[in-house]
C-alpha cells in the first residue's frame, strides 16, 4: 500500500503503539514515507505541522499550475491571432496610397541652386515660347488686369470643361493677374496677405537677404527674373513663395519651368504633377504639356505615352503639338 494522508493522520494522531506498528509495517518498503514519519513523530502537534506543510505544498503546486496554464493560454491566443486572416483597412490603405502619390517638393536654398547647370539651348523652353503659348490658350479663361492694392477676397469662379467619354469635370479657375504679360493667379482674392512679408534676394551672389516684401511684389520680381532667363534667381524667389504657400500655382508652374531649364527634370516633374492636385486649374493644360517634355527628356516611355494620349484625346490647344512630339 502506498503512503497517503489517511495513513499519516492515523499514525500521527494515534497513541496506540499497535496501530503505529501496523502502519510502519505497511510503509516499510517506502523509504521516503518512513523518513517522514520519523521526522514528525518526535514533534508535538505533529499532525497540525504536517497539515501546514501539506497546505504550503499544494499552494505552490497550484501557483505552478496556474502559471503553466496562463502561459499555455497566452501562446494559444498568440498563435490563433497570427492565424486569423487579416483584412486590409481601406481607410489606411487609401491614405497610404494618397501619401505615396503626393509629389515631394524640394525647397531650395541658394547653395543648392548655385550648383545647378543650365540645360543646352536646344533643350530649353524659353520664356518667350511659354509666353506665346500662354497667350494662345488665354481664350479658355477670363484674363483680368488688376491693380496691385489689396482686394477683398471672393470665391473662385466655377467653369466647366467637357471631358472625354461624356464626363464633365468642374474645375476652379482663379482670378488672374498679368505680370510682364505672363498670366498668374491673383491670390489676393483667395488668401490673406502675410503681414510679416517674405524675404527676397538681390542678384548679387544669388541670395543676399536685403528686403522684406509682400507676396505680389515677390511674385512680380520672380516673374521678371524668369522673363530675363535668370532661372536660378527666379527659382530662389518662387521657392520662397512655396515655403509659405506650398500649393501656390504660380510658384509651382514657373518654378517647374525654371527647374526644367536647369536640367532638374525630376524636380520639375514633381511640381507639374502637384499642379494637378491643387484647387486651381489655371495652369493645368500647360502643366501637362511641359510635363510631357519632362518625360521626353527623362526617357520615361510609359508615362510619356500615357500623358501624350491623354493630351491628344482632350483635343485642346496642345493636342496637335502632342501628336508631333516623339521620344528622342
Mean pLDDT of 133-154: 52
204-213 pLDDT tens trace: 544 444 444 5
The residue among 251 and 21 whose pLDDT is bigger is 251
What pLDDT, on a 0 to 100 scale, did the predictor assign at position 1?
A: 55
153-162 pLDDT tens trace: 444 444 343 4
Chain centre to alpha carbon of residue 28: 80
What pLDDT, on a 0 to 100 scale, did the predictor assign at position 73?
A: 82
What pLDDT, on a 0 to 100 scale, did the predictor assign at position 5?
A: 63
Mean pLDDT of 233-258: 95
The C-alpha cell at 49 is: 505541522
Q: How far apart are CA 131 and CA 138, in angstroms?
A: 10
pLDDT beyond 90 at 62: no
Mean pLDDT of 145-152: 42
Mean pLDDT of 34-58: 65
What pLDDT, on a 0 to 100 scale, did the predictor assign at position 93?
A: 52
Strand pairing report for 176-179 and 182-185: antiparallel
Q: How far apart are CA 174 and CA 155, in angstroms?
A: 9
Mean pLDDT of 79-97: 58
| Radius of gyration, CA atoms only, the chain | 42
Percent of the chain with pLDDT over 70: 61
**Range with lowest mean pLDDT among 45-59, 170-184, 254-268, 284-298:** 45-59
Angle between helices 301-314 and 284-298 (to 10 degrees): 150
Mean pLDDT of 264-282: 94
Structural domains of the chain, ranges and CATH numbers in brackets: 5-80 (no CATH), 106-324 (1.25.40.10)
Return the bridge partners of 177, or none. Answer: 184
DSSP label of 185: E
What pLDDT, on a 0 to 100 scale, did the predictor assign at position 269?
A: 96
Amino acid at each position: 500500500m502506498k503512503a497517503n494522508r489517511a495513513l499519516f493522520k492515523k499514525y500521527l494522531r494515534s497513541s496506540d503503539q499497535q496501530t503505529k506498528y501496523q502502519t510502519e509495517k505497511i510503509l516499510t518498503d517506502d523509504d521516503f514515507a518512513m523518513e517522514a514519519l520519523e521526522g514528525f513523530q518526535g514533534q508535538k502537534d505533529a499532525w497540525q505541522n504536517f497539515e501546514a506543510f501539506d497546505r504550503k505544498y499544494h499552494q505552490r503546486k497550484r501557483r505552478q499550475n496556474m502559471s503553466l496554464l496562463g502561459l499555455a493560454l497566452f501562446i494559444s491566443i498568440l498563435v490563433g491571432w497570427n492565424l486569423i486572416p487579416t483584412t486590409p483597412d481601406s481607410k489606411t490603405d487609401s491614405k497610404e496610397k494618397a501619401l505615396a502619390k503626393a509629389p515631394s517638393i524640394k525647397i531650395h536654398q541658394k547653395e543648392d541652386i548655385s550648383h545647378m547647370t543650365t540645360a543646352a539651348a536646344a533643350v530649353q523652353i524659353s520664356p518667350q515660347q511659354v509666353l506665346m503659348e500662354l497667350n494662345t490658350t488665354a481664350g479658355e479663361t477670363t484674363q483680368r488686369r488688376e491693380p496691385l492694392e489689396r482686394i477683398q477676397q471672393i470665391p473662385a469662379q466655377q467653369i466647366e470643361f467637357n471631358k472625354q467619354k461624356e464626363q464633365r469635370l468642374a474645375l476652379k479657375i482663379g482670378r488672374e493677374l498679368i505680370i510682364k504679360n505672363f498670366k498668374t493667379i491673383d491670390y489676393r482674392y483667395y488668401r490673406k496677405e502675410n503681414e510679416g512679408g517674405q524675404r527676397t534676394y538681390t542678384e548679387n551672389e544669388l541670395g543676399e537677404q536685403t528686403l522684406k516684401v509682400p507676396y505680389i511684389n515677390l511674385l512680380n520680381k520672380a516673374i521678371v527674373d524668369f522673363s530675363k532667363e535668370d532661372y536660378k534667381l527666379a527659382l530662389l524667389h518662387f521657392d520662397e513663395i512655396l515655403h509659405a504657400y506650398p500649393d501656390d500655382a504660380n510658384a509651382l508652374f514657373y518654378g517647374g519651368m525654371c527647374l526644367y531649364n536647369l536640367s532638374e527634370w525630376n524636380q520639375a516633374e514633381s511640381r507639374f504633377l502637384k499642379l494637378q492636385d491643387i484647387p486651381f486649374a489655371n495652369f493645368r493644360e500647360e502643366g501637362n504639356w511641359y510635363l510631357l517634355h519632362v518625360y521626353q527628356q527623362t526617357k520615361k516611355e510609359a508615362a510619356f505615352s500615357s500623358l501624350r494620349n491623354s493630351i491628344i484625346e482632350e483635343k485642346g490647344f496642345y493636342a496637335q503639338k502632342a501628336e508631333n512630339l516623339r521620344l528622342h
